[in-house]
Amino acid sequence: MSGDRETENGQPARPELGNVVVGIDGSPAARTAALWAAAEAARRGRTLHLVHAADTDRRALFADAETIQTVREVGRDLLTDTAEAVRERFPDLSVSRELGRQEPVSGLLAAAGRNGTIVVGHRGLGGFATLMLGSVGLGVAARADVPVIVVRGEDERPETGTVLAAVHDPSDLGWLLLAAAEAEARKASLRLESVWNVFAHVGRVATMLDDLDGIARRRVREAKELADRVRRAHPGLNVTHHVETGTSTPGILIEASRGADLLVMGRGGRPLGLGPALGRVAHALIHHAHCPVEIVPHTFPASGPGPTATDHDDGPA
């Protein structure tokens, strides 16, 4: 996210949390994700937009009109049932619905626009069943230009009051301010976790013990500086930082996620600007973390939410 927009004091502009878009497909994981997304939208004071990607554009190539109509009717019923379940728990929440014609990844990306946050479950069924287990979450997280949250962990997991941010270097400040906004919305603390993996440096030309010691000190200093800058941008937020040394970055972050309500991490740019990019750490967290995982592209703009969506069915297939 961010280095383009700055405040007068040189700080990146504080991001606003936008509307929440959640993909539903009839699976238990998607229903859990929808209710989690509803709570997220309520905390933000934003609209929850329910999307069922019926994939009728592709289906129309081999299915007859009656089958397509049945698919659409099932999708409408699913949207209605999910909206009712959400409103039962969150009666004051603004909820909109969309029966999409595209496949799930493209449909969710289109629904989120430039400023939404996409929420998906970690398993799929129905409209998402044409893809492999976990591939919708992976595909959206790799391709989206907006934050993506994959809902993981136990359904009734007690809150810990902590948002965990997996930081690496000073370039993380932009998306880290979005993690700070998430913590503020939850009235939670923000914990910056930096993993120093010594194996990442051993074996390089002329690597010496004093080089490794210097790298470790630099990581501690950078984590502290990031924490200080977040505190200046969010003076009321409790921010802590920690540098963990180990041989497995994903393993350390997965273990740390046991004590968090949300784990947030940045996603770098696509190699040469081409194709989706999702690193091995993000891939491991999406599959194994003990709490929901939010992936934020470094290019995500620090700007306000887009227009509020309304109930609609985007035309005949």
User: DSSP assignment of 2-66, as one string?
Assistant: -TT-B-TTSPBPPPPP--EEEE--SSHHHHHHHHHHHHHHHHHT--EEEEEE--HHHHTTTS-HH
Distances (CA, A) of 146 to 108, 143, 296, 300: 11, 9, 7, 6
Question: Could you tell me the two tokens for 248?
Answer: 């497995």
Closest alpha carbon to 180 in 167, 193, 165, 170: 165
Distances (CA, A) of 294 to 109, 117, 164, 262: 15, 9, 10, 7
- Average pLDDT of the chain is 83
Percent of the chain's residues with pLDDT above 90? 52
> Which of the four pLDDT bands, split at 50, 70 and 90, describes residue 269?
low
Q: pTM here?
A: 0.85
Who has greater pLDDT, 15 or 129?
Answer: 15
* Alpha-helical segments (H) within 144-202: 173-186
Find the mean pLDDT for residues 225-252: 92
Helix (H) / strand (E) element for 297: namely strand 293-297
Find the mean pLDDT for residues 62-83: 91
Question: Could you tell me the two tokens for 10?
Answer: 């040189």
Residues sharing a CB contact under 8 Å with residue 191, sequence separation 6 or more, in sequence order: 162, 163, 164, 165, 239, 240, 241, 242, 260
> Which of the four pLDDT bands, split at 50, 70 and 90, describes residue 276?
low
Find the mean pLDDT for residues 231-250: 92
In eight-state DSSP terms, residue 251 is H
Find the mean pLDDT for residues 53-58: 84
Q: Three-state DSSP class for 265?
A: strand
The CA distance from 48 to 39, in Å, is 9
Find the mean pLDDT for residues 4-18: 66
Q: Three-state DSSP class for 194?
A: strand
Q: Where are the beta strands (DSSP E) in 127-279?
A: 148-151, 162-167, 189-197, 239-246, 262-267
**How confident is the model at residue 294, as a pLDDT?**
97
**How confident is the model at residue 277, as a pLDDT?**
65
CB contact at 8 A, 284 and 187: no
The CA distance from 98 to 193, in Å, is 37
